[in-house]
Structure 1
Amino acid sequence: MHIAIIGAGISGLLCAFEFLEQGCHVSLYDQQHFGRAASWAGGGILSPMYPWRYPDAVNQLARHGKALYQHYNAQLLPQTAIDFEIEHSGMLIFDADDFAIGQAYAEKYQDPMQRCQHVQSEQLQRINPRLAATWQQALYFPALSNIRNPRVLQSLQAYVQQHPRAQVYPQHTIQQFKMRGQRIDAAITQHNEQIYADHFVLATGAWSAEWEQQLRCHIPVAPVQGQMLLFKTPAHWLPTMCMNDVMYLIPRRDGHIVCGSSVRHCGFDTRPDTHISAKIYAASIAMVPELAHFPIIKQWAGLRPGSPDGIPYIGAMPEIDNLWANFGHYRNGLCMGPAAARLLRQLLLAQQPFIDPSAYSTTRLHIDQQHIAS
């Protein structure tokens, strides 16, 4: 079976991995270089921020992320020599209004990753001595981890590029589908090339709504900018991730500290905003004052695929027999990505799904029935 995947961010690359592991042939297309949009720009926390603020459907996918990435890394590292750098750093959350809610969530769901404890004063300073003295209490999640997403993307890309049943096409824009009844006969590129496959997968992230007119349905996915700063400290300098008021610090193994994030509705503009940069900087210094002594070596912005409630669309697209969706992950594409790709693979290959797929169904998309009937 030949699967053509449109979009080579984390969702597209993970789908390619899943299908190749099942013996399928895969062609992977992206309008730019692979893995250079939201997937590269994100922080890589392997959990939704404040999971109790999200629908169960988001957490149902996200809770599989860490284990699947560990499995993939063990499999790919000998082949690609690129380590995902999964850091088991734990996280401290300082939002006092969330303490009781977070503890109640952990008690209710008994998710090992979300187990937490309320820590204060001396215990808090032992866990992370870099914190500002103003922080006297926090909710501590010892099992939360982060992943170095650019390295994940590099490893997956290397795996796909060297695979004998895969073909990769960066800077190839799929502009339209050539239909035959209720089935795609071919996809057509910007160079008028015709791409043939048994099935087509849309993993197009923030650009997914561009298919609305062709597919005659409303796709409520829009770009939402998120902005980041990067500090450079000594290796292993910051012992935990930190979060307050949706601002976070994520330590990398080599001493890079990723700081974010923001929400800005500005279309497809990826230029950092100086006001937002200043806000992220101030929030970072408020959590860990010593960061002021280290350089900011980079700042950037990425475009998340914003969708209602952040629940992605995974499964067969309406009214077309061989078109499939895996888009709309909003802020949690990295942690939901492995389970979302596995679920899509199981649905497309008519295998038993490992979780209930109904919450992600594309029947939530509004179809223009009048247009179809005509």
Structure 2
Amino acid sequence: MKVIVVGGGIIGCLTACMLKQRGVDCVVLERNTPGHEASWAGAGILCPIHPWLYPDDFSRFVDDSLMLFPQLREQMEQATGVDIQYIESGLMIPEFESDLVSHRDAALAWSRKFNWEVEALSVEETMLMEPSLNGAQLKSSLRWPKVSQLRNPRLLRAVQAWMRQLLIPCVENCHVDCLLESSCGVTGVQDSKGQKYEGDAVLLACGSWSGELAEKWGCSLPVKPVKGQIVLLHGPVGTLHHIVKHDDAYFVPRSDGRVLVGASMEYVGFKKGNTPEVVQALLHAMLRIAPGLKDAEIEHQWMGFRPGSPDGMPYIGPVESRKGLWVASGHYRNGVCLAPATAVMVSRWMTGEAVPEYMHSFLPGRISTASETLGYPEF
């Protein structure tokens, strides 16, 4: 069996590795440089934004994916020597007097249902752990001590090194154009230069570009780019200890004193670049939520295009109307978090093995109900 993987981000590359381990030949086709879009730009938080707002099947998928990370990390580090800086930093959600929405009750109920260890902290307990927060406005907080993070660029470096060891070819700057088909189904793809890549199946995993390519192939896949901007601060090590999430911004502390402040949600197509207005909005949110970071140096800023979907959930599985065409896209803000389970499930599914029933909630042909809180941002 041979699979043509369209897309060289974390989803496409890791799935190719899992397929190869199951004896499937793969080639990865990437429109630019592998792993330099949303996979690289993300913050590496291994927990969805507000998982209690999603259907239960999404949480089951998240749990299965997170359970795979320790083994995957060990396997990749032994094979490649690349440290992905997987750190159990914990997650904290502070609640302030000025907040318009309280997530406390829903978050606690979800945590009990899915057995996520959580602590309800007082103002004093919160400030003892995170003195950089705005104690004057703080009401309380929730803390999940087992939530982890990693460095996206390091994860991609490890996966790409693993691909090379597994002898999986990756063709860069390959703009896939046509879907090749016969009376038996999909047989491959052709790029914009006329080069054909033939196989037994095609996996569409090119992130934010998946929707427009699927449309070109006559398929409905409502995946669209949602731009996110991030600011990188650099201050003393230990200024912030936990990942801190709030409706206005999140903060991810690295072990070297750097802190990621993110991230905007902009429905502007593929318009690149950082903008002063958004960067200032993120910094103002920092001053409201974590004023202890105010003296940190602004070191860098960047952006990426998340593959958004109407309901915030990914599209994974076979396309019913096109035999041999599979999809793994639309992971939105949860691509890295869901990458291990996506790769494992898709590799099993494509080679004829059964997958959990919950995976059918992510089928490409499902009816996606638009969600203002989880899906595309409103403007």
What TM-score comes out, normalization by structure 2 length? 0.91
Q: Matches of residues 179-194 of structure 1 in structure 2 within 5 Å? A: 179-194=181-196
8 Å contact kept, 1:57–1:311 = no
CA distance in 2, matches of 1:196, 1:350: 20
Deviation at 1:182, TM superposition (A): 4.7
| Residue of structure 1 in register with 2:99 after alignment | none
1:363 is aligned to 365
- Alpha-carbon distance in structure 2 between the residues aligned to 1:28 and 1:103: 42
**Counterparts of 2:333 and 2:194, CA distance in 1:** 34
Residue by residue, what CA displacement relative to the aligned partner does 1:93-136 show, whole Å, maximum 9, x if unpaired? Answer: 123611122111112232xxx32121012211222233232224
In the alignment, residue 192 of structure 1 is paired with which amino acid? Answer: G
Secondary structure in 2 matching 1:299: strand
After superposition, the CA RMSD in angstroms is: 1.7
Q: Which moved more, 1:274-283 or 1:205-214?
A: 205-214
Q: Offset at 1:365?
A: 6.7
Matched, 1:101 2:109: no
CA contact (8 A) 1:58 1:310 kept: no
Cα displacement string for residues 181-203 of structure 1 (whole angstroms, at most 9, x for unaligned residues): 25223311122111111211000
Q: Does the residue aligned with 1:94 lie in a helix, a strand or coil?
A: strand
Amino acid at match of 2:40: W
2:228 matched to 1:245?
A: no
1:307 counterpart (306, 309, 320): 309
Structure 1 residue 90 displacement after superposition: 0.8
For 2:209 and 2:201, the matched residues in 1 are separated by 20
In 1, the alpha carbon distance for the partners of 2:19 and 2:203 equals 11
Amino acid at match of 2:152: N
Q: Match for residue 15 of structure 1? A: 15
- Counterpart of 1:370 in structure 2 is none
Instruction: State the AA in 2 paired with 1:107.
Output: R
| Cα displacement (A) at 1:258 | 0.8
Q: Counterpart amino acid of 1:30?
A: E
Change (3 A) 1:100 1:356: closer
Aligned ranges for residues 1-374 of structure 1 at < 5 Å?
1-95=1-95, 97-110=102-115, 114-134=116-136, 135-164=138-167, 166-354=168-356, 356-364=358-366
Partner SS state of residue 95, structure 1? strand
CA deviations over 1:327-355 (Å, ceiling 9, x no partner): 11111111112112211111111112145
| 1:41-63 C-alpha deviation (Å, 9 max, x unpaired) | 11111111111122223222222
Distance 2:25 2:64 in 1: 26
Q: Distance in 1 between matches of 2:53 and 2:108?
A: 13
AA matched with 1:99:
R
Identity %: 29
Which structure carries more helix by proportion? 1
The one-letter amino acid paired with 1:132 is N
Aligned AA (2:49)? M
Return closer, same or farther for 1:35/1:365 CA change in 2, 3 Å cut-off. farther
Q: Is the 2:94–2:246 contact (alpha carbons within 8 Å) kept by the matching residues of 1?
A: yes
1:27 partner SS: strand
1:369 alignment counterpart: none
Aligned-partner SS, 2:358 = coil
Distance in 1 between residues matched to 2:284 and 2:195, nearest whole Å: 50
The alpha-carbon deviation at position 361 of structure 1 amounts to: 1.4
Amino acid at match of 1:56: D
Counterpart amino acid of residue 115 in structure 1: E
How many residues were matched structurally?
362
The structure-2 alpha-carbon separation of the partners of 1:292 and 1:317, relative to structure 1 and needing over 3 Å to count, comes to: same
Kept after mapping to 1: 8 A contact 2:208/2:307 = yes
Further displaced range: 239-248 or 220-229: 239-248
CA–CA distance in 2 between the matches of 1:3 and 1:149? 25
Structure 2: 5+ residue runs without aligned partners?
97-101, 369-379
SS in 2 for 1:356: helix
Distance apart, 1:12 and its partner CA: 0.5
Contact 1:4/1:200 (<8 A) preserved: yes
Q: For 1:26 and 1:231, how far apart are their aligned partners in 2?
A: 39
**Letter of the aligned partner of 1:351 in structure 2?**
E
Name the aligned partner's letter for residue 106 of structure 2: I
